[in-house]
């Protein structure tokens, strides 16, 4: 529910029911002064090398008019300007004190402080919503930056001209003031409403559809608090070699939140049983938990049905399942399988084995010097003999995000089946297998904050129904005689024996956890970390980044002149910083760059700017120590 602000404003002649423009400016200033790094509220932002997004700053002359309690009066300027992106974030000058306000005529507007920044969007929403009802729309400045015309200045006759602000994304949840609690709530987008006037209340209505979507912008604006998230991970609270642990080896495996650990414990304490095979209570509980995890996995990748989700040990087992069950039946002598230079060994070796068994040919799509696939060369490899394209969505060695949907469409035009290896994608970005239109998708649970030894295969149902099982045993059969076995339909057909029941349940808990944060929020935060970390690493003398594609996920592979990667890894470990040094099970792509190994810091949403500062400072000390010898 939205509500207006009961006020007792003095209205200019001919502008009945409209607020003074100064109140709009003052409330907007409260928003920006409450943001982290600004005077007037919030915590100071760290000094970083990432330019913050440009944000509007409203300033108005403070001659008279009401000011909400606790909102400082702004300086005397009468335009809306845009703060340019700067390399450092620093505090603004403190504003002068506000004039006294009659508390009975203007109830307090919530102003966020250091303890809680979640209501920041409401202040902006309140300011935007105070646009006069009779002037709900107006011309925008040609360059897209809204501006208050001179008629908005105080002591000038006539109503102020309106200004236009961009609306939120239609698909994004919006924020509004809760009437009962005065805090932000979320609502689904709605069509713009006509302003209305309640009896006894000034004709001002909050317009949540006009509030910009501030989620995922950064922890500096209160949208995401990586420090709070880190407290959910018990392992990250320890010290290594007397230093706080900084985990930057997330591409190898991610750490587990308390919620996942506790779910595993609860399963073994209250639900442990084999599934699908007994009538007792624990079997029912275990089966329910296991199948609930399958449904969560389906939702996580947006598969059409749980019949399209197969539990496996991880992406490696998933690829081998497809190579054996689908490949052995569909790939023949003279056929071709296409992969890319970016692939993990797990997406190369099974196809080499299949080619050796069938006489098929393995072809490889090249990458450019930034580490991005050259699409024109990839398309040249496709033809009537192409049976399968198997590609990574995110490179584990370079962080390159491939154009997987476009590559899938190209392959389908040539009649090929497409497998996407999502092991490095699922922790960094939203995944939608229906939008990708891939035929298979595989990922590992331990890369997305779940236990090891569990993962999933998505396969289109029409294809899975035509595939034979790749292992035999219990659970995957409908009927067995000595003459014949009848198999279960997918997915049970591909889950022979007692599966990893508890860790499948743990995978479901991990999916619940990341979805409670939001994959879009996680992706946005990690992109900030990636930009910040890239700039920091490039400040280290003699450091060369490997993999500089425009579209990247949170991987920062590098080499340091005159240093063995193993020695750099050991030196960082003494600082409490865990990174990966080596070939990362992706030797072909490193050799494409003339290397056998790199140092690979890799990011997750619990990493912070301070973690990256510690990494850069440690590398600078390593270089300094070498120079002194």
CATH (residue range 226-248+519-628): 3.90.1150.10
Give 32's pLDDT tier (boundaries 50, 70, 90).
low
Percent of the chain with pLDDT over 90: 62
* Closest to 444 measured CA to CA, from 610, 252, 273: 252
User: Would you say residue 179 has pLDDT above 50?
Assistant: no
What CATH number does the domain located at 258-516 have? 3.40.640.10
pLDDT of residue 277: 78
* pLDDT the model gives residue 285: 96
Q: What is the pLDDT of residue 29?
A: 56
DSSP string of 469-480?
A: PSS-SSSSEEEE
Give the per-residue pLDDT at 429: 97
CA distances from 198 to 3, 208, 398 (A): 9, 18, 58
Quote the radius of gyration of the chain (alpha carbons, Å): 29
Of the candidate ranges 59-68, 345-354, 463-472, 604-613, the one whose mean pLDDT is the lowest: 59-68
Higher local confidence (pLDDT), 405 or 191: 405
pLDDT at position 624 is 83
Range list for CATH 3.90.1150.10 in the chain: 226-248+519-628
pLDDT digits (tens, 9 = 90+) for 2-13: 333 333 333 333
Which has the higher per-residue pLDDT, 527 or 623? 527
Flag whether pLDDT at 555 surpasses 70.
yes
Mean pLDDT of the chain: 76
Query: For tokens 């920006």, what's the residue?
Result: 32
Does a cis peptide bond (omega within 30 degrees of 0) precede residue 491?
yes
pLDDT of residue 38: 45
Neighbouring-strand partners of residue 101: none
**What ranges make up the beta strands (E) of 321-459?**
336-340, 361-365, 386-392, 417-421, 440-444, 455-459
d(CA 604, CA 526): 7
- The CATH 3.40.640.10 domain(s) of the chain lie at 258-516
Least confident of 115-124, 303-312, 474-483: 115-124
Please tell me the predicted confidence (pLDDT) of residue 625: 77
Question: What pLDDT is attached to residue 570?
Answer: 97
Label residue 54 by pLDDT band (50, 70, 90): very low
Residue 585 is among the residues annotated as catalytic for this protein: yes
CA 19 vs. chain centroid, Å, equals 39
Mean pLDDT to the nearest integer, 525-544 = 97
Query: Distance between the two ends of the chain, CA-based, in angstroms?
Result: 68
Q: What pLDDT score was predicted for residue 278?
A: 80
SS3 568: helix
Find which of 107-111, 195-199, 512-516 is predicted with most confidence, using mean pLDDT. Answer: 512-516
């Amino acid at each position: 529910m939205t509500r207006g602000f009961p006020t007792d404003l003095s209205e200019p002649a001919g502008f009945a029911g409209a607020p003074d423009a100064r109140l709009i400016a003052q409330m907007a200033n409260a928003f920006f002064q409450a943001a982290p790094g600004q005077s007037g509220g919030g915590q100071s932002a760290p000094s970083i090398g990432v330019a913050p997004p440009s944000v509007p700053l409203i300033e108005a002359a403070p001659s008279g008019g009401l000011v909400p309690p606790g909102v400082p009066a702004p300086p005397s300027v009468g335009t809306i300007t845009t703060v340019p992106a700067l390399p450092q974030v620093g505090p603004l000058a403190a504003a002068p004190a506000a004039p006294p306000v009659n508390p009975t005529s203007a109830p307090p507007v919530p102003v966020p402080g250091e303890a809680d920044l979640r209501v920041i969007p409401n202040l902006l929403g309140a300011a935007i919503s105070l646009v006069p009802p009779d002037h709900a729309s107006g011309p925008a400045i040609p360059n897209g930056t809204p501006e208050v015309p001179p008629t908005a200045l105080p002591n000038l006759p006539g109503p102020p001209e309106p200004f236009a602000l961009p609306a939120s994304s239609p698909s994004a949840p919006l924020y509004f003031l809760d009437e009962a609690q005065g805090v932000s709530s979320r609502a689904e987008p709605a069509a713009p409403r006509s302003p209305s006037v309640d009896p006894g209340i000034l004709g001002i209505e909050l317009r949540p559809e006009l509030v910009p979507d501030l989620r995922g912008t950064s922890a500096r604006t209160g949208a995401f608090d990586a420090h709070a998230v880190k407290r959910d991970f018990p392992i990250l609270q320890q010290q290594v070699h007397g230093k706080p642990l900084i985990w930057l080896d997330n591409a190898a495996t991610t750490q587990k939140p308390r919620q996942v650990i506790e779910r595993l414990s609860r399963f073994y304490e209250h639900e442990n049983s084999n599934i699908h095979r007994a009538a007792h209570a624990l079997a029912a509980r275990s089966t329910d938990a296991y199948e609930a995890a399958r449904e969560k996995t389906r939702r996580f990748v947006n598969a059409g049905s749980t019949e399209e989700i197969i539990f496996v040990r991880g992406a490696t087992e998933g690829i081998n399942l497809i190579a054996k069950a689908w490949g052995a039946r569909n790939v023949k002598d003279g056929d071709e399988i296409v992969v890319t230079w970016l692939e993990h060994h797990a997406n190369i070796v099974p196809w080499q084995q299949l080619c050796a068994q069938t006489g098929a040919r393995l072809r490889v799509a090249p990458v450019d010097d930034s580490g991005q696939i050259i699409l024109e060369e990839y398309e040249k490899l496709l033809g009537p003999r192409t049976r399968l394209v198997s590609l990574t969505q995110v490179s584990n060695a370079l962080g390159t995000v491939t154009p997987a949907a476009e590559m899938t469409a190209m392959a389908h035009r040539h009649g090929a089946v497409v497998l996407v290896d999502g092991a490095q994608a699922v922790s960094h970005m939203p995944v939608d297998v229906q939008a990708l239109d891939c035929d298979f998708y595989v990922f590992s649970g331990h890369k997305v904050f779940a236990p090891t030894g569990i993962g999933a295969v998505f396969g289109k149902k029409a294809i899975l129904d035509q595939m034979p099982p790749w292992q035999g045993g219990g659970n995957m059969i409908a009927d067995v005689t000595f003459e014949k076995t009848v198999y279960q339909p997918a997915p049970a057909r591909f889950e022979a024996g007692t599966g990893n029941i508890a860790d499948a349940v743990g995978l479901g808990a991990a999916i619940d956890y990341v979805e409670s944060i939001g994959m879009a929020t996680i992706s946005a935060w990690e992109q900030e970390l990636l930009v910040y970390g890239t700039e920091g690493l490039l400040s280290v003398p003699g450091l060369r980044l490997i993999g500089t594609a425009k579209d990247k996920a949170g991987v920062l592979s590098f080499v340091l002149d005159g240093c063995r990667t193993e020695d750099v890894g050991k030196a960082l470990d003494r600082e409490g910083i865990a990174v990966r040094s080596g070939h990362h099970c992706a030797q072909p792509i490193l050799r494409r760059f003339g290397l056998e190994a790199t140092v690979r810091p890799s990011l997750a949403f619990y990493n912070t700017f301070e973690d990256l500062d510690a990494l850069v400072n440690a590398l600078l000390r390593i270089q300094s120590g070498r120079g002194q010898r």
